[in-house]
Amino acid sequence: MLLQILFWFCILLIAHTYLFYPFWMSRKALEYHEREIEMKSWPQLDLLIAAYNEEKVIQKKIESCLNTNYPSDKIQLVIGSDRSNDQTDAIVQAMAEKDSRIRLVRFEERTGKPQIINHLVKESKADILILSDADTFFEPDMLPALVRPFANERVGGVQARFISETNLSNDVATQELVYNNRELMIKKGQSVNGVVIGAYGACYALKRNLYQAVPKGFLVDDFYLFMKVLEQGYQTVYAESAQCRLEVSGYSKTEFKRKARIGLGNYQNVFALKAFWNPFRNRASLYYWSHKMLRWLTPFLLILIGVSNYLLLGAHPVYATLFGGQVLVYALWPLDSLLKELGIRIGVLRFLGHFFRMNLALLLGFFRFLKGNASGTW
């Protein structure tokens, strides 16, 4: 009986995080609307960017940040170069000589994005921090739209809308676009209650006085920072009209490596965010478990489902059927890889293979977490 309870409970948890909760948020998202707020005065912004060997994109990034409809005298752009050894520093310095709003801060030792941002925030005096990746480009109206929600004093963090772009011929491009768009839909639903769970690093904004320094060695700083805003009793929201663009690789090997690294960072966050461990404490904790914690536990839930199903083979014929179904589903994963090599793509198999690959990446991230010694660098 205990094995049966375990088996069905694990299935229910996976179904909740991947099916029931997204459906719930899709219904909540229908209630979302952006208030038209007339700003009496625009706050001072510090746009903080950590860069490592970004010579291909840094000029376009800077131009997209400064060529916006936000008051030009209210913007300061600070680029922290993590000991770049290409032309990144030279490009930024040349632009800084022509525009006093641009400043380069070079780090002589590799420290990683979170520690660079920690350092830049210490020097910041602006009301609002805009944190963004070097390869994310702003639409002209993005900054005003991103800042308007702060007119509500209860709002401490705002997530921008990121528009993912990629070459759809790449092997997991479609799967990544679907995933990113679903994430935005979930954040839209969460925003109705002011509890967007974790920021996406492409671009988001924080009140400077709510910034909590990211612990040394942490990899997923954006998630940590938004959760710390919620922990302090402030709201985190989504701004639909604050649009930025970023390119997604769409290659399975690249995405696997990235997800394994993010997986390590996710498990770091689990133990740093103990205030949200009780899913019944408040809405933020419930959303945290539903949206993230259960996803991070999915590799282990899948293992428990397989083991308990095997042990239940003699309990009832239905368990033999379910075990055979599991074996078949897992066998479809290598079949998808084989068909990909032959240039054959079947949508269902592509999504199924991507699901298992990303959960394997999470599991790898967990074992790396157990090893410790994360540096926080790219």
And the tokens for 176? 């990544």
Helix (H, G, I), strand (E, B) or coil at 261: helix
Which residues neighbour 13 within 8 Å (Cβ) at sequence distance 6 or greater? 294, 297, 301
Q: Strands across the sheet with 155-165, in order?
A: 102-106, 75-81, 45-51, 128-132, 203-207, 155-165, 235-247, 136-138
Pick the CATH number of 29-276 from 2.40.50.40, 3.40.50.620, 3.30.300.30, 3.90.550.10: 3.90.550.10
Helix (H, G, I), strand (E, B) or coil at 2: helix
Residue 319: CB atoms within 10 A of its CB come to: 19
**CATH 3.90.550.10 domain span(s) along the chain:** 29-276
CA distance 197 to 71: 30
Each residue's pLDDT expressed in tens, for the chain with a length of 378 residues: 899 999 999 999 999 999 999 999 999 999 999 877 778 899 999 999 999 999 999 999 999 999 999 999 999 999 999 999 999 999 999 999 999 999 999 999 999 999 999 999 999 999 999 999 999 999 999 999 999 999 999 999 999 999 988 777 776 778 888 889 999 999 999 999 999 999 998 999 999 999 999 999 999 999 999 999 999 999 999 999 999 999 887 777 888 898 899 999 999 999 999 999 999 999 999 999 999 999 999 999 999 999 999 999 988 999 999 999 999 988 887 887 777 777 777 778 878 888 888 999 999 999 999 998 666 565
3-state percent helix, strand, coil for the chain, nearest multiple of 5: 55, 15, 30
